[in-house]
C-alpha cells in the first residue's frame, strides 16, 4: 500500500539443446595439431613431442556447459601399428579424442591424429668385444639381441 515493490526473477530452462563447449588450454600441444591440414607426421626421435603426447588425458581440456556445473570429458586414445613401416610411411598411428556429454545428452567432441615415423636405429645388446683366438677352440656364439621401440629387428651374425 505504500508503493514499495518487490521483484524476484527465476530462470527456468525447460529443455537444453546446447552441447558443451570443449576448451583447449593455450599452452597445450593439442593446439598445434587440432587444426593441422593433412596428415601430421612426428619422428620417434622427437622425444619432447612424444612425451607431451603421452601425457594427454581427461584433464587436458576444459568443458563449459550452460546447465551442468561440471562436465568431465571422456578421453580415448586409439593406437594402431603399420604392417609395413617402410611401405606405409609410418610405424604408429594415434587418434586422440575428447567427448563431453552433459546431463541432457548433448555432446561435442574434438579429435586429432598423428603418424609417428620410426627414425631411431635399433640398439644391439650383447655384442662381444673383438678377440683374437690362435690355435684354440672358438667360444660359443654370442647371444645378440636388440632394443627397438618400434619394430622387430632381424639380427644377422656373419663371420
pLDDT digit string (tens) for 93-134? 999 999 999 888 889 999 999 999 988 877 777 777 888 888
47 Cβ contact list (under 8 Å, min separation 6): none
| Structure-block grid coordinates of residue 18 | 546446447
Q: What is the pTM of this model?
A: 0.73
**Residue 143 clears pLDDT 90, i.e. is over it:** no
d(CA 103, CA 71) in angstroms, rounded, equals 8
Where do the DSSP E strands lie in the chain? 21-23, 41-43, 62-64, 74-81, 92-101, 107-117, 123-125, 145-147
d(CA 19, CA 105) in angstroms, rounded, equals 8
Q: Could you tell me the pLDDT band of residue 12, with boundaries at 50, 70 and 90?
A: low
Amino acid at each position: 500500500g505504500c508503493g514499495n515493490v518487490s521483484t524476484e526473477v527465476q530462470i527456468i530452462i525447460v529443455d537444453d539443446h546446447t552441447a558443451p563447449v570443449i576448451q583447449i588450454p593455450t599452452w597445450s600441444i593439442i593446439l598445434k595439431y587440432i587444426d593441422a591440414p593433412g596428415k601430421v607426421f612426428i619422428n620417434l626421435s622427437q622425444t619432447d613431442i612424444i612425451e607431451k603426447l603421452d601425457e594427454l588425458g581427461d584433464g587436458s581440456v576444459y568443458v563449459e556447459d550452460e546447465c551442468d556445473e561440471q562436465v568431465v570429458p571422456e578421453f580415448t586414445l586409439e593406437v594402431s601399428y603399420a604392417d609395413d613401416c617402410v611401405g606405409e610411411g609410418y610405424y604408429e598411428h594415434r587418434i586422440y579424442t575428447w567427448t563431453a556429454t552433459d546431463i541432457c545428452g548433448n555432446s561435442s567432441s574434438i579429435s586429432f591424429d598423428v603418424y609417428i615415423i620410426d627414425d631411431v636405429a635399433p640398439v644391439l645388446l650383447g655384442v662381444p668385444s673383438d678377440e683374437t683366438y690362435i690355435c684354440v677352440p672358438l667360444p660359443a656364439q654370442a647371444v645378440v639381441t636388440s632394443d627397438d621401440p618400434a619394430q622387430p629387428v632381424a639380427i644377422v651374425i656373419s663371420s
